Amino acid sequence: MPPKPKKQPRARKPHANVTRIPEIIARLDDAYGIPEWRPHRDPLSELVLTILSQNTSDSNSGRACVRLLEAFPTWDAVMEAPLAELIAAIQPGGLAPTKAPRIRAVLRDIKGRRGDFDLAFLAELPLDEARAWLGSLHGVGPKTVACVLLFALGRPAMPVDTHVFRVAQRLALIPMRAGNAAMTAEKAHALLEAAVPPDGYYAFHIGLIKHGRRTCTAQRPSCDACVLRDLCPSVGKVAGNRTVRESVKHVDG
Ligand code: SF4
């Protein structure tokens, strides 16, 4: 008797949910309010703040930024500051010994190429060129590039931080793997930019961050209270997801 044919694993469709992105954005808008884009700050301040925000909270990076500008009132002064003083100034943002030389190198790079620190010219460059210019700066990755383009210049770019990455994976908007390697937030930028309509980048980014902080938390997401539960293939499957009763307690503090 011939051997029974092996059951083939079902083909995975990691992007099956991208067609639901407009609905996901609409529900997050309803749940958390429609985010309205306003220019946050000038492009260089946005760039430095994004470097400061790596691996820390918004409040810590904000404090580090305020202290930096109090200690060194011009970008020239930051660029020329002794490293030890720079590290001391940005200490509240964490990883100061890594971030201080990175900030100084970026400033030197910009001044060397442009002669000043004005990045307003990026608003006029074709998007790909603006992206490439920023991405060629020392130590500047896709998230920082996208933050400067979107927040400071209002250009269509999608920053993927830890919340956006986690929630997008749980919603099956991006795959868990990239070929034989693990999917990363860096690699997810291009995938999400291709999947989300450009005029929805800002709402999608802000909505997923709010959702990731309040409901789809890294540990114990509140699936029972989630406005996306009927759209989400991970509902109830993440280890330790909260019951409705626990979710209410969690929100109430
Ligand atoms: S159903 Fe659960 S896993 Fe899915 S988005 Fe909502 S909280 Fe996250």
Query: Which residue minimizes the CA distance to atom 2 of ligand 1?
Result: 223
| Residue 136 domain-assigned (yes or no) | yes
* Within a domain: 4: no
What integer is the mean pLDDT of 83-110?
94
Annotated catalytic, 6? no
pLDDT in tens, 106-123: 999 999 999 999 999 999
Q: Which carries the bigger pLDDT value, residue 40 or residue 124? A: 124
Please report the pLDDT score of residue 168 as a whole number: 97
Confidence bin at 10 (pLDDT 50/70/90): very low
- Taking residues 137-143, what's their average pLDDT? 92
Q: How far is the CA of 139 from the centre of ligand 1 (A)?
A: 33
Domain count for the chain, please give it. Answer: 2
- pLDDT at position 228, please? 97
Q: Which residues span the domain enclosing 193?
A: 16-35+160-252
Residues 173 and 209 in one domain: yes
Mean pLDDT of the chain: 89
The arithmetic mean of pLDDT across residues 117-132, rounded, is 97
Long-range Cβ contacts of 166-170 (<8 Å, 24+ apart): 166/212, 166/216, 166/218, 167/208, 167/211, 167/212, 167/216, 168/192, 168/208, 170/216, 170/221, 170/232, 170/234, 170/238
Residue 41 pLDDT grade (very low, low, confident, very high; cuts 50, 70, 90): confident
Mean of pLDDT values over 84-106: 93
CA neighbor of 171 nearest in space, from 9, 10, 21, 11: 21
pLDDT of residue 246: 57
Whether the pLDDT of residue 14 is over 80: the answer is no
Residue whose CB lies within 8 A of the most ligand 1 atoms, among 21, 169, 171, 243, for a mutation test: 171
Q: How far apart are CA 234 and CA 103, in angstroms?
A: 39
Residue 7 lies in a domain: no
Counting residues of the chain whose pLDDT is more than 70, the rounded percentage is 89
Distance of CA 224 to the CA centre of its chain: 26
Q: Which of 152, 173, 188 is the last residue of a domain?
A: 152
Instruction: Answer whether residue 122 is part of any domain.
Output: yes
- Within a domain: 109: yes
Looking at the fold, whether 167 and 140 belong to one and the same domain comes out as no
Is 3 among the domain residues?
A: no
9 domain-assigned: no
Which candidate in 143, 187, 210, 237 is catalytic? 143
The conformational region for residue 50 under phi > 0 = left, psi -120 to 50 = alpha, else beta, is alpha
- Whether the pLDDT of residue 238 is over 90: the answer is no
Give 105's pLDDT tier (boundaries 50, 70, 90): very high
- CATH code, 219: 1.10.1670.10
d(CA 160, CA 208): 10
Q: How far apart are CA 228 and CA 65, in angstroms?
A: 35
Domain match, 134 and 175 both: no
Domain boundary among 152, 179, 201: 152
Domain end marker among 119, 152, 185: 152
Q: What is the mean pLDDT of residues 134-163?
A: 95
pLDDT at 247 > cutoff 60 = no
Are 84 and 127 in the same domain?
Answer: yes
